[in-house]
Amino acid sequence: MAKTVVLCAYNVANFPNGGGHLWVYMQYVFGLKRQGCDVYWLECFRRGDDPARDAAAIDSFFARLASLGMEGKLILRATGETGAVETLGLTDAEAGRVFERADLLLNFHYAIEPELLARFRRTAMVDIDPGLFQFWMSRGQLTVPRHDHYFTTGETVGTPGARFPDCGLSWVRIQPAVCVEQWPCANGGAGEAMTTVSAWSSGDWIVDRSAGIRFDNSKREAFMPFRDLPLLTPQPLELALFLDTPNDQADGRSMAEHGWRIRRSAEVAGSPRAYRDYIRRSRGEFSCAKPSCMYFQNAWVSDRTLCYLASGRPVVVQDTGPSAILPNGEGMFRFSTPEQAAAALEAMNADYARHCRAARELAVAVFDSRAIAARILDVAAG
């Protein structure tokens, strides 16, 4: 008998221009469906002070999820200043019946309401911010209700070599997921530029005053040490960025002056389809990682990077620490300095077809969401 799984996502409806953010969760949805599960999408929507903007965001949310096969499977809990909850998609009664019969709540919303969590017989949380999540929780910056199971995409979480605590939890390590059927190999048609899609400045600071820790955890901080990389390589490099403020836009102009191609992410990757098309048209991915990844040495790999790999596009990405699963030199190259990055780009281009094949093979062998969903079900809903 098919299992019913409710997946609780975070901040998709409130971020209508985040075509890639939606894919984070859809990879798991598709993996669970491939395992024969009946999957529902649960999310909280925070109403703002512009009803028209809220209505447009909600309409976009339902249309996009319907286009990905989730029509009739959506539960959106909309809240406003009063705290009252309006259930959209399924009715409140229909949602209640789904919660009652669900075999598992697979939760990606760390600060889920305890009352909502308590409506499910079995619950599992998925940590997709390894190192950061444990840091926030151990410093009291994040309160997480008790779940039955805890999964993490962090290779070092809960191991003796981790640079952060395990928070007294028993962690089941899984790989981050990509649905290789939804991201088939893009044979031919590769563009000339290595690309990535990212926010720029985020307001995300890592702070622990008692330990003297305080640093800006934005992609801006990650990329600035590599600002002169275009001077070291003939390979065109393109950043599709969410440039939200005048300072962001000034940074975009500065990066362009140093040889980077700058695009607005909302224009080239603002929907799930556009995001997928943009990645598949790229030559591959070049990207830096947030400073927290270097601080925690968590062997992190981006869900976005997996989309490039599955598409048969090689990746040149910043080294986030020793890894038992991430290769260096076959479909994926890992760098720490601008000189290493330039050398990796040269090596990739020297045998591009081979690295395209290796990229796809890595995605299928290690990150296939169908296998990862099977692992989740075996542990949490067996």
pLDDT digits (tens, 9 = 90+) for 214-250: 889 999 999 999 999 999 999 999 999 999 899 999 9
pLDDT digits (tens, 9 = 90+) for 147-160: 999 999 999 999 99
pLDDT digits (tens, 9 = 90+) for 350-367: 999 999 999 999 999 999
Token representation of residue 107 = 């939760």
Q: Given pLDDT bands bounded at 50, 70 and 90, which one contains residue 88? A: very high
Same fold, 4-177+368-380 and 194-366: yes
Position 208 scores a pLDDT of 86
Q: Given pLDDT bands bounded at 50, 70 and 90, which one contains residue 81? A: confident
Can you tell me the distance from the alpha carbon of 234 to that of 287, in angstroms, rounded to the nearest whole number?
Answer: 17
Architecture category of domain 194-366 in CATH: 3-Layer(aba) Sandwich (3.40)
Token representation of residue 352 = 């591009």
Sheet holding 85-89, edge to edge: 85-89, 74-79, 38-46, 4-8, 104-107, 123-127, 149-152, 171-173
Can you tell me the distance from the alpha carbon of 46 to that of 14, in angstroms, rounded to the nearest whole number?
Answer: 7
CB atoms within 10 A of CB 68: 16
Architecture category of domain 4-177+368-380 in CATH: 3-Layer(aba) Sandwich (3.40)
Sheet holding 261-264, edge to edge: 261-264, 237-242, 194-199, 284-287, 315-318, 332-335
Specify whether the CB–CB gap between 268 and 240 falls below 8 A: yes
pLDDT digits (tens, 9 = 90+) for 55-76: 999 999 999 999 999 999 999 9
Q: Which amino acid is at 238?
A: E
Cα angle 234, 240, 244 (rounded to 5 degrees) comes to 135
Examine the pLDDT at 191 and tell me if it is beyond 80.
Answer: yes
Token representation of residue 219 = 């992609």
Q: Per-domain residue ranges for the chain?
A: 4-177+368-380, 194-366
pLDDT digits (tens, 9 = 90+) for 266-310: 999 999 999 999 999 999 999 999 999 999 999 999 999 999 999
Residues 335-346, mean pLDDT to the nearest whole number: 98
